[in-house]
Structure 1
Amino acid sequence: MSIEILPVTGLPEVKPGDDLAALLSGADLRDGDIVVITSKIVSKAEGRVRRAPDRTAAIEEETERVVARRGDTVISQTRHGFVMAAAGVDASNTEPGTVLLLPEDSDASANRIRAALPVAAGVIISDTFGRPWRHGLTDVAIGVSGVTPLADFRGGDDTHGNPLQATVTALADEIAAAAELVKGKLSGVPVAIVRGLPHLVLSGDGPGVRPLIRPADEDLFRYGSRDVVFARRTIRAFSADPVDPGAVRRAVEAGIAAPAPHHTTPWRFVLLESPEVRVKLLDAMRDAWIDDLRGDGFTEESIAKRVRRGDVLRNAPYLVVPCLVMEGSHTYRDERRNASEREMFIVATGAGVENFLIQLAVEGLGSAWVSSTMFCRPVVREILDLPSTWDPMGCVAVGHAAEPPRDRAPRDAADFILTR
């Protein structure tokens, strides 16, 4: 099999409203060809041009979420699902003072162009992406019509008879990158024809680019540096899926990386992996709460309502009890200073728990930090057989979220800042 990659030269400057298929009427197109079109000219033809002194406002408008930010560089996820620099907003190859946005729907754009071509060809709309852990840029497909986007070899065997378990080739991306070899960034050639792959050209539009976009729940690197802290959400409904104990232990590693006073290690994490121990602890805590609430004069109806709040712990498949230890703390003659010393250790414990919760989220686990154990510490120590110096600081419910968490309430950081 041989492949030809042919530049389409002599195209005029594309303007809003231009018919790209008509502009290609003079090209040597044949049945079975694949036409690769740079997204810039599609954006220009569709009027996706904005007057802007810089790209900042346009990037914000096109961004679904910020994945990472360093200085002026922003890696964002667009509403199309692409994770790319500057949400695909481009200030190159356009008039000064303007920027280009990605097409509204690149698959739909590719479908329209393909339908108007005089031959049975496929169409790929390409754009330039950076790649994690690699220097340099390459073109990938952001819109596909009439082309098989992926080749799935899973379930087959290699030449040595080894089963293929993870081999899925991004055909549309490979074709887009190959076409860029003759288009180039500075040559002014926005279209190329890839010939020799008729077996990849479909009779209909096909699935488009969607199969190339990895769903968030399958992405091991879903969270960029901007996302990590916000990945932690309080989850109160868990599925029946089991929790990987290794993931919890990795979260503990993150927890004990928190800052602490006097170079101490004030954190201990009690992992309740036995269902019998979890039930025994929760039953004893419930009885202790009921006794306390009755002693405080609460009605039975109010007590029942408050006890039900502990259901998040009872329904979780895994529990963790973070504990504070004061080893390495200083003792002073002044009780005020002793109280401050303890507060320092409490703050450090909270930092450790927050690290722990964030890493659970990165591991794909939901959590809820409930302060319940702090109201019955002697009971918790007895049931879990903890040293008297271990101070339970709540209980963390861990599991896989049964449903997506609700959106966060909007908060403006300026409301929480005081400048002097």
Structure 2
Amino acid sequence: MSGTTEQSPAAPEFRVWAVPGLPEVAQGDDLAKLIAGAEPGLADGDVLLVTSKIVSKAEGRLVHAADREAAIDAETVRVVARRGPLRIVQNRQGHVMAAAGVDASNTPSGTVLLLPEDPDASARAIRDGLRDALGVTVGVLVTDTFGRPWRAGLTDVAIGAAGVRVLDDLRGGTDAHGNPLSATVVATADELAAAGDLVKGKAAGLPVAVVRGLRHVVAEEDGEDGEGARAMVRDARDDMFRLGTSEAVREAVTQRRTVRSFTDEPVDPGAVRRAVAAAVTAPAPHHTTPWRFVLLESAQSRTRLLDAMREAWIADLRRDGKSEESIARRIRRGDVLRNAPYLVVPCLVMDGSHEYGDERRDGAEREMFVVAAGAGVQNFLVALAGERLGSAWVSSTMFCRDVVREVLELPEDWDPMGAVAVGHPAGLPKPRPERDAGAFVVSR
């Protein structure tokens, strides 16, 4: 019996090696020419992994800085977390990393090395230079060392890229068992950077590595440099872990803004309930719980309340002798509530309050409860900001409490404390004027 033997397809494989023989890099050096001289056997489809430090040196990013902390400040856009002298920050390139990437190691005394100004542009320049020098089309990654949340140890990642598919989006496909892939986007560039670091090492003086055998990740046409490593920086709206440690509270507070224009996107009721859970952690007198939150989740309930409040307001304004034009203008100011996709009416209850029998002490008792109610609402607004929801707290229900209680069928001892419009902001907030905290402080 005779026949042919079918051979299985070769298993995927690749090689990675460090490039020896590179000289010490100085400002003005042509990295592409140096790499071509040290590794003239580069081939189409290779991926070159270049440590950011030598790119920075060639681009003159060595700067005099007697104080490294000042240099970190200058490169920092946003502090994410801080513990003692260590700062995790977002730098000018958009990367979240320790010390903004400012490096004081292996540099002359009194100097620091900054990251490349535009790592994607640096990668493109090296790629173009290697095409001119060797006639090859390669991919180039500029790499740097990152720590990672929840994981010990450091690894290299790509901060600049040219001619490399940095992300492999598998969403819409299926796995080996036919299950749909709905959230799988592979960070190909970071995987390549980490592979290169295994052979470059951190202290071996080998700043460049080559990966061969993964030609499919390299763009082969001239001018196809790709979207660069910038595409790997997560957008703020999609970053679930944007805030750091103690900075989380400060950032959430400062991000809380009064939003008066909302999109039509529905509000997640779960997000509002999580914000209520944060609200009821506020301090209150006598171990009481003076907060109640009425959630108006249907359009019918919102319209019924707002229509009744409008009629009550119009009646009040007419009693005050206001003109119809003035009344119409004032009524339009309430559109922030009518245009919001979700309304919340916070209420104050005095359960557990003390009665002292004299006006002064009873008045102070109520003030304590009102302050506690305000603290709860502030918690609520800040938590909404943490959920990426906009809000506007307006006082309107306080002027017609009987109407609100009647329409919403609330107990007589529930005092509405305004209303909170909730929704997804229709645009970016305007810059808030800077306030000097010292202007609000008196020391004794």
Letter of the structure 2 residue corresponding to residue 26 of structure 1: G
**Aligned equivalents of 1:98 and 1:36: distance in 2?**
26
Verify the 8 A CA contact 2:28 2:59 in the aligned structure 1: yes
Partner of 2:89: 76
Partner of 2:278: 254
Partner of 1:209: 229
Partner of 1:218: 238
The correspondence for 2:35, drawn from 24, 45, 65, is: 24
**Aligned equivalents of 1:362 and 1:153: distance in 2?**
30
Verify the 8 A CA contact 2:343 2:420 in the aligned structure 1: yes
Partner of 2:70: 57
Partner of 2:196: 179
TM-score between the two structures when normalised by the length of structure 2? 0.91
Structure 1, unaligned runs of 5 or more: none
Partner of 2:145: 128
**Aligned equivalents of 2:89 and 2:362: distance in 1?**
47
Q: How does 1:20-419 map to 2 (within 5 A)?
A: 20-28=31-39, 29-31=41-43, 32-117=45-130, 118=134, 119-203=136-220, 204-225=224-245, 226=247, 227-419=251-443
Letter of the structure 1 residue corresponding to residue 34 of structure 2: L
Letter of the structure 2 residue corresponding to residue 184 of structure 1: G
CA deviations 1:80-139 (Å, max 9, x no partner) are 221222222222232222222221111111000110112321110011112121122211
CA 1:253–1:195: 2 relative to 1, 3 Å: same
Larger mean Cα displacement after TM superposition, 240-249 or 154-163? 154-163
The correspondence for 2:25, drawn from 4, 9, 14, is: 14
Letter of the structure 2 residue corresponding to residue 110 of structure 1: A
CA deviations 1:3-56 (Å, max 9, x no partner) are 222112332322221211122133224212211111111111111122222222
Larger mean Cα displacement after TM superposition, 14-23 or 107-116? 14-23
Larger mean Cα displacement after TM superposition, 387-396 or 192-201? 192-201
CA deviations 1:285-328 (Å, max 9, x no partner) are 11222222233333333322222111000000110000111111
- Structure 1 position 237, deviation (Å): 0.5
Moved over 6 A (4+): none
CA 1:135–1:273: 2 relative to 1, 3 Å: same
- Structure 1 position 205, deviation (Å): 1.2
**Aligned equivalents of 1:138 and 1:124: distance in 2?**
15
CA deviations 1:303-355 (Å, max 9, x no partner) are 22222111000000110000111111222133222222222211111111111
Letter of the structure 2 residue corresponding to residue 173 of structure 1: D
- Structure 1 position 258, deviation (Å): 1.4
**Aligned equivalents of 1:107 and 1:370: distance in 2?**
47
CA 1:296–1:49: 2 relative to 1, 3 Å: farther
**Aligned equivalents of 2:282 and 2:207: distance in 1?**
51
**Aligned equivalents of 1:312 and 1:114: distance in 2?**
53
Letter of the structure 2 residue corresponding to residue 50 of structure 1: V
CA deviations 1:147-188 (Å, max 9, x no partner) are 111112222221112111111111000000111112222222
SS in 2 for 1:228: helix
Verify the 8 A CA contact 1:223 1:231 in the aligned structure 2: no
SS in 2 for 1:26: helix
Would you say 1:4 and 2:15 are equivalent positions?
yes
Larger mean Cα displacement after TM superposition, 69-78 or 174-183? 69-78
Structure 2, unaligned runs of 5 or more: 1-11
- Structure 1 position 242, deviation (Å): 1.0
- Structure 1 position 381, deviation (Å): 0.9
CA 1:59–1:329: 2 relative to 1, 3 Å: same
Letter of the structure 2 residue corresponding to residue 359 of structure 1: A
Verify the 8 A CA contact 1:155 1:164 in the aligned structure 2: yes
SS in 2 for 1:25: helix
- Structure 1 position 406, deviation (Å): 1.1
TM-score between the two structures when normalised by the length of structure 1? 0.96
Aligned residue pair count: 420
**Aligned equivalents of 2:215 and 2:236: distance in 1?**
33
CA deviations 1:341-399 (Å, max 9, x no partner) are 22221111111111111111222211111111111111111111111111111100011
Letter of the structure 2 residue corresponding to residue 34 of structure 1: V
Residue identity (%)? 66
Verify the 8 A CA contact 1:30 1:120 in the aligned structure 2: no
Letter of the structure 2 residue corresponding to residue 13 of structure 1: E
- Structure 1 position 417, deviation (Å): 2.2
**Aligned equivalents of 2:61 and 2:325: distance in 1?**
61
- Structure 1 position 66, deviation (Å): 2.1
RMSD, aligned α-carbons: 1.6
Larger mean Cα displacement after TM superposition, 20-29 or 267-276? 20-29
Larger radius of gyration: 2
Verify the 8 A CA contact 1:223 1:362 in the aligned structure 2: no
Letter of the structure 2 residue corresponding to residue 321 of structure 1: V
Verify the 8 A CA contact 1:106 1:143 in the aligned structure 2: yes
**Aligned equivalents of 2:72 and 2:402: distance in 1?**
55
